[in-house]
Amino acid sequence: MAELRRTQKQISERYWSIIGRYLKLHPWRLARTLVSALAFFGGIAAVVLYQKYGREAFFNSGPLSRNHAMFANDCKQCHDADAGVPKDGAQLAASLKQRFHNGIDFAAIDRKCETCHERHSLHEPNVVENRSCSACHMEHQGPGPMRAVASFNCASCHNNSEVMEASAAKGAQMPRDAFHLRPHSPQQVVFELPRPPRGYTEVFESFWNDHPEFQLKREQTRDPDVLRFNHQRHLTGADIPQVNGKKLDCNYCHKPGIDGRFMERVTFAANCQACHSLQFDIKNPEMQLPHGDATAVRAYLHSLPTHYADLAVKKGIARPEQIQTFVAQQISQLRDQVRSGEELERRVFFTTDPYKPQLGVAGTRAAFYGCAFCHEVKPQTALVPAITKPVFVDRWMPQSPFNHAKHVGVKVTGVSETGLKCDDCHHATSSRETSDVLMPVKANCVACHSPQGKVVAECATCHKYHAPPQNVAMWEGSQRPGSSASRGAEAARTLKDVLLGSRLTATR
């Protein structure tokens, strides 16, 4: 039998019965409503009252880093209490819209940062839009040092083709003085390659995958030094005599500096003279030519009688007639070797292969007869020959804070199980030309600095970021119309680039 359907009146009465139950005052429902309203409006009132009269530490989202710990109870050092607070409904709507589309505005906090960190240039000047300080340097993450900037912060731009295209276009319109504002250490010769036409705007995700090859290797850079040196022969040559009973190795010439980060500069007296004698007279090894000044060398040769007389005194010859006889004998035997004073001077300056075993004994030190064996020597009419000064580069990658002390002797799986050696990265034993730039390729670094090598490979590991304020101010001043630096800097650099194919600078 079919079920009887309810009439419209019956349905209406049922709904009114249900509504009546909800409209009827119920003590538990009333209590729940009042508690909810009290919690909502009480919370708003508490925030307002606590903001004005409460302790600021209540709003602290976490401990400050060690460098900012002194501001832990003084929030206004970084936060402006009135910044961003809407004064009316229109400002509130505009603030909510800005937050919804662009996120939190850190401009007020950035201005606070700049009260201490004055005139920081956030990045290279071709950056299309500088990011906030707080985007990379995040506070309230716990005590201790502030967390290092993570690579994903850098990749947000450097792995974005649109951002890099815009940066390349902007950089093409800027003078070269606007870039490379990081200072170099005093007393260092620094090798800087010209900035690429598009700048450093290649898109990549990580160092170990698609980071570009180092510019020195990518552009097959050559060392501008004209001093002749063959690493392979010095390190592996069978005819190279031992020094202090040991075979030559990298550490004989390249010694770590005081802090261990970089190497001390190679000098002739400390590293070369033990083998490359300045002796010009086979029978008198005590007679040594001066080094480093062609004028002093010629003056020495023109005053040989005086130097032989001094040698006689050192040998214990005291009587004047005996000294004169000794000097005459030495000049005579020297003339037998070189025939004339002009010939001796020519050999000293221009002989390119003077080394011959002394007394027919192989492996002994050879007499010195020619500056041109190592140096570029150019004759000048009636003047002292011009000897090109060697260029010893102290820093090949000036933007990288490399530290030798952290790398020497480190064991690397698949590279050096007994400890990392100089030749593992610099490959000196295969270099025969001075023009070879013996710097590592990217693959040498990736062997360790990658997930496989298990050594940190963040961008900040190798790259500096902020330019010091004094350098930024110096560049800005040089660009003012009429300044002498603005007029002359470009011409000087252009000439240097033509001669060396790079920027070779030294602070002396």
Distance (Å, whole) CA 388 – CA 383: 15
Mean pLDDT to the nearest integer, 275-286: 85
Distance (Å, whole) CA 275 – CA 229: 13
Is 90 exceeded by the pLDDT of residue 168? yes
Return the C-alpha torsion angle 103, 109, 110, 116, nearest 10: -170
Note the pLDDT tens digit of each residue in 7-21: 887 777 777 777 777
Q: Which residues of 421-442 are buried (b: 16+ CB within 10 A; e: fewer)?
A: ebbbbbbbeebeebebbebbeb
Distances (CA, A) of 476 to 179, 395, 484: 11, 26, 13
Mean pLDDT to the nearest integer, 229-255: 89
- Residue 459's region, left for phi above 0, alpha for psi from -120 to 50, else beta, is alpha
Q: Which residues pair with 395 in a beta bridge?
A: 190
Query: How many CB atoms lie under 10 A from the CB of residue 129?
Result: 8
Query: What is residue 156's predicted lDDT score, i.e. its pLDDT?
Result: 87
Note the pLDDT tens digit of each residue in 387-424: 999 988 888 888 788 888 888 777 666 565 567 888 88
Query: What is residue 439's predicted lDDT score, i.e. its pLDDT?
Result: 93
Is 80 exceeded by the pLDDT of residue 484? no
What percentage of the chain carries pLDDT values higher than 90? 24
Is 50 exceeded by the pLDDT of residue 363? no
- Name the least confident of 105-109, 199-203, 314-318: 105-109
**DSSP code of residue 428:** G
Query: What is residue 223's predicted lDDT score, i.e. its pLDDT?
Result: 92
Tell me which H or E stretch contains 326: helix 320-338
Is-contact 350 367, C-beta < 8 A? no
Please report, in angstroms and rounded to a whole number, the separation of the first and last CA atoms in the chain: 112
Is 60 exceeded by the pLDDT of residue 263? yes
Query: What is residue 473's predicted lDDT score, i.e. its pLDDT?
Result: 52
Is 60 exceeded by the pLDDT of residue 272? yes
Mean pLDDT to the nearest integer, 48-54: 74
Mean pLDDT to the nearest integer, 129-150: 83
Note the pLDDT tens digit of each residue in 311-349: 999 989 889 999 999 999 999 988 888 888 888 888 889
The whole-model pTM stands at 0.71
In whole numbers, what is the pLDDT of the chain averaged over residues? Answer: 80
Is-contact 278 305, C-beta < 8 A? no
Query: What is residue 243's predicted lDDT score, i.e. its pLDDT?
Result: 86
Two tokens, residue 283: 């029978």
- Name the least confident of 48-62, 121-135, 181-195, 226-240: 48-62
Is 90 exceeded by the pLDDT of residue 191? no
More confident site: 137 or 507: 137
Two tokens, residue 3: 């079920």
3-class DSSP state of 192:
strand
Task: Please count the helices (runs of H) and the strands (runs of E) in the chain.
Answer: 19, 4
Which residues of 26-144 form beta strands (DSSP E)?
none
More confident site: 137 or 477: 137
